[in-house]
Amino acid sequence: MPIASVNPATGAVLKEFAPLGDTDLDQKLALAASTFATYRHTTLDQRATWLRQAAQVLDDNKAAYAKIMTLEMGKPLAAAVTEVEKSALVCRYYADHGAEFLADEPATTDASRSFVRYQPLGPVLAVMPWNFPFWQVFRFAAPALMAGNVGLLKHASNVPQCALAIEDVFQKAGLPEGAFQTLLIGGDRIAKLVTDDRIKAATLTGSEPAGISLATACGQNLKKTVLELGGSDPFIVMPSADLESAIATAAASRLLNNGQTCIAAKRFIVHESIADRFEQGLTEKFAALKIGNPLDDGVAIGPLATPSIAAELEQQVKACLDQGGKALIGGNVAAFKAQLPGEWQGGNWFPPTILAALPPGTPADQEEFFGPVALVFRVSSLDEAIARANDIPFGLGASGWSQDPAEQNRLIAELEAGAVFINGLVKSDPRLPFGGIKRSGYGRELGRQGIHEFVNIKTVWVK
């Protein structure tokens, strides 16, 4: 079957691509292996130069790249431009700091000289998602390439034009042929692909089932993996919080990228003494959103990326309402879509929705809602808030809102997550490690820790 690029706003097919045949795929693997044999010996200064040139290519073409993203997966155009800019930022970050992170680290032992040296592993397979089709690739690629590895990208099948554009960025930046290649293949070929001895490690950002599948295949072949999976991040608001700022940030976090981000705040756990004001303020923010063609200026919410994402979200919301939950806004997909222009009837549109008064046992308790749906829970104490926040299979990020230092310290210490942000929106930053615990995955991207995931941490002892 062809790999199709489909406009999620209308359902119209933009372009189709033939997947790689076995012979073509083997040739790409052979090229990756042969390129690595020489690329690993390039200097850190040369790799930094290439990354800076990649950043410049991104900056020079950000409008074009942003439009491809918006047409393929529906994010608002302004957000897509910001994503390209952030991708350039991570290239420059590792160009500036990679040599420091990869320098030999001396140790005092019984040897005349002993140290730790960081050396690349080889071709690394990156299985990447559609929701941030540039950023999530570059946050892998920049440290991996700086470390001396080469990259093989198996991107989500609904963003093939993004995948090819990213390969083109590195080609225009002057990297050797084969240093970074896109593999246009279906997901059903990944498990077999990782059995190839030329692939030395793999990383995946995506769903929990996809992560389990990749980790199983890599485990059977004893290959290193890094997984960044789903999340249902808590957003705790205590009475001492700056409520106006908390509400504004809550709306921004939940609706970023049309609500399709792993580290979005999804469960809003609010102290009962301020819950009425929080719900009212959040509802007002949702009601004020401009929904429409994501290519238009000022649009805050576009369509969801795929029909399956929209269908699953609708089923989850319906289950919550059927079990007694209350929609403060949205919730009725049919009524929402009936008001849309005719050309959008084939698109994956979903109304921004807030669900409250949720009884125990609904999907809101344990599942991730991947779209513009906020889940509000009331609690009577910080103890109850932390317990509810942690009572979930996921552990990616968490946001806590309080001006009380003692409460802040408890939130930092007790929330089970790979990142805790106090009085701020959870986000990824090249300067800090990023990743989760529990069923949100393992390993870290970004920061000093991220560049060390795909290297041989070699002990050297000399007498």
Please give the sequence-ordered ranges of beta strands (E in DSSP) within 76-200, or none if there are none.
105-107, 113-120, 123-127, 150-154, 180-182
| Tokens describing residue 73 | 């997966």
CB contact at 8 A, 376 and 356: yes
Distance CA 426, CA 399 (A): 6
Distance CA 410, CA 120 (A): 39
Identified catalytic residue from 72, 83, 167, 228 = 228
Identified catalytic residue from 262, 320, 416, 453 = 262
Q: Cα torsion at 93, 130, 183, 450 (round to 10°)?
A: 30
> Is 228 annotated in the active site?
yes
- Residue written as token pair 């939950």: 325
Distance CA 339, CA 139 (A): 39
Distance CA 324, CA 91 (A): 48
- Mind giving me the DSSP string for 394-451? EESEEEEE-S-HHHHHHHHHH--SSEEEESS-----TTS-B--EETTEES-BSHHHHH
Distance CA 166, CA 133 (A): 9
Distances (CA, A) of 76 to 79, 293, 310, 439: 5, 8, 17, 30
DSSP class of residue 292 equals S
**Amino acid letter for position 67:** K
Look at strands 373-379 and 265-271 and give their pairing: parallel
- Residue written as token pair 């409250």: 356
Which helix H or strand E contains 202, and what residues bound it?
Answer: strand 201-205
> Is 262 annotated in the active site?
yes
CB contact at 8 A, 158 and 4: yes
Q: List residues with catalytic annotation.
A: 228, 262
